[in-house]
Amino acid sequence: MKPLLGLALAVLAGVAAAQPSPAASAPEGQREARPAAPPVVSASARRLYERSKGQLLQIRTLLKTQDSQASVGSGFLVSDNGHVLTNYHVISQFALEPDSYRLRYATTDGQSGALELLDFDARRDLALLRAVGDDKGNNGLKGRGALAFRPLEQPLAKGERIYSMGNPHDVAFAVVEGNYNGLVERSFDPLIYYAGGINPGMSGGPVLDEDGLVVGVNVSTMLFAQQVSFLVPGEFAAALVKRSLEAKPIRTAAWGRLRDQLTKYQDELVTRFLALPWESANHDRYRLPVPRQDFMRCWGRGTPADTKGLDFERSQCRMDHALFVGGNLQTGWLDMSHEAYDGSKLGTLRFARQYSSSFRNERLGGPDKSRTAAFCKEQFVDRGGLPLRAVVCLRAYRKLEGLHDVSILVTTVDAAEQGALGRFDARGVSFDNALKLAAHYLEGFAWTNSKAK
């Protein structure tokens, strides 16, 4: 049996060769013709909106040859010369396919014009744009003023009132009141937990404090939850503006720039993950790899005590946050799970059938327009006398050279009626980091100290 690092190297060496959803509507004949109640807006919200509406924008991605819109978001002015801040996912189609799409803005008073892309930060889901000027350098956003960012030395207190602005569902410009509730716990990168409703179309809009200073940027909301939304902290938006205000426009597809940003991010992610020790799964037979929940969340379940079939315990851990690439493709996250089985109530043959089926049912993904088919290699591994069956698979990104998705499947093969199955997935990692993660995960399996071999 090969050592862990040797197995991972042998396997991987063979491979070396967020759009917003439209609002739902009821079927015809089931809609009630009742007037909508006007939203309750405080005097502070009205005051802030009136004061900042001149710097508030709608950002639209249009097809190059017609006015049909492919996506709609929001943005805001960050300079008096027509610089605009929004989310990367709002303009990603243009960034990656500039020959097929173009960008337009619309102001609250009905003005519109073209935009160009200066820079983006895919990790923070931010982009910096600028209004396109005429032959004399004039543009329709010049002289409209800019929103300022709240200084870092003036942190918000939990519960403070803040105000999100944007154009939800392409309906109309709006202001939504909510509360600052600190940073999201166990998030790899800082995100503000905003107790307020952010709807599709508001992405990239500003969130202001009582003084009209930007504290965050609308970015996402939690599905199937009420008043649980997330903001990019204003400090990252301010940093992008500072470093790229004088940048030259990006004229060609930005896959290379995106790849460089994702490569740098995954290096930091993997380094921090590998530095964390494995936690105990508290299993009486096997030591199973469970991550510390510094930037992952773990959930577990098991069979009822009176079950008459296969007994199992399951744990799944995953990062809440992923990086948006384009379309339906996201990357930059880790996911792992394990299931421990006891088939003593089933008998050897029935247990073997169900146990093998669980291993075969794992899906590894076929080829698509973004990634290649999975290349897999299987090997038996010895972990201090504990025999493991391991499969390591790699899928390469077609347009993000050097980045891969890695999946590792592991199952114990030491007993006739007991066993454990584990899976680890990492999205968007380099070849070297895939190697390190595979070895690290396999090293997490062993006997418990109390179990005789």
* CATH classification at residue 277: 3.40.1000
Is 241 contained in some domain? yes
Query: What three-state secondary structure class fits 131?
Result: strand
Amino acid 40: pLDDT: 58
Is 424 contained in some domain? yes
Do 191 and 313 share a structural domain? no
Contact status, residue 255 vs residue 190, Cβ threshold 8 Å: no
Q: Which of 413, 420, 409 is nearest to 360 (CA)?
A: 409
Token pair, residue 234, equals: 């204003």
Amino acid 449: pLDDT: 73
Cα(8)–Cα(429) distance, integer angstroms? 15
Do 270 and 247 share a structural domain? no
Residue 163's domain comprises 40-253
Do 325 and 218 share a structural domain? no
Beta strands in 266-308 (DSSP E): 286-287, 297-302
Token pair, residue 215, equals: 């504290």
Is 16 contained in some domain? no
Is 105 contained in some domain? yes
Cα(154)–Cα(157) distance, integer angstroms? 9
Is 5 contained in some domain? no
Do 249 and 395 share a structural domain? no
- Which of 253, 283, 304 is the last residue before a domain boundary? 253
Do 340 and 240 share a structural domain? no
pLDDT tens-digit profile of 233-276?
999 999 999 999 999 999 999 999 999 999 999 999 999 999 99
pLDDT tens-digit profile of 391-434?
999 999 999 999 999 999 999 999 999 999 999 999 999 999 99
Is 20 contained in some domain? no
Looking at the DSSP assignment, which residues form a beta bridge with residue 376? 393
Do 229 and 200 share a structural domain? yes
Do 245 and 265 share a structural domain? no
Amino acid 19: pLDDT: 36
Do 333 and 244 share a structural domain? no
Is 452 contained in some domain? no
- Which of 214, 236, 253 is the last residue before a domain boundary? 253
Q: Which residues of the chain, if any, have pLDDT below 70? A: 1-41, 135-137, 223-226, 305-306, 450-453
AA letter at 254: A
Cα(387)–Cα(202) distance, integer angstroms? 53
Amino acid 44: pLDDT: 92
* b/e per residue 213-249 (b: at least 16 CB within 10 A): bbbbbbbbbeeeeeebbbbbbbebbbebbeebeeeee
* CATH classification at residue 61: 2.40.10.120
- Kindly calculate the radius of gyration of the chain based on its CA atoms and give it in whole angstroms: 26
Is 17 contained in some domain? no
- Which of 214, 233, 253 is the last residue before a domain boundary? 253
Looking at the 3D structure of the chain, how many domains does it have? 2
Do 423 and 302 share a structural domain? yes
Do 201 and 60 share a structural domain? yes
AA letter at 412: T
Do 301 and 233 share a structural domain? no
Q: What is the DSSP letter of 215?
A: E
Cα(131)–Cα(302) distance, integer angstroms? 56
Is 0.95 topped by the overall pTM? no
Contact status, residue 165 vs residue 173, Cβ threshold 8 Å: yes
Instruction: Render 192-220 in DSSP notation, one character per residue.
Output: EEEES---TT-TT-EEE-TTS-EEEEEEE
Cα(186)–Cα(202) distance, integer angstroms? 25
Do 214 and 292 share a structural domain? no
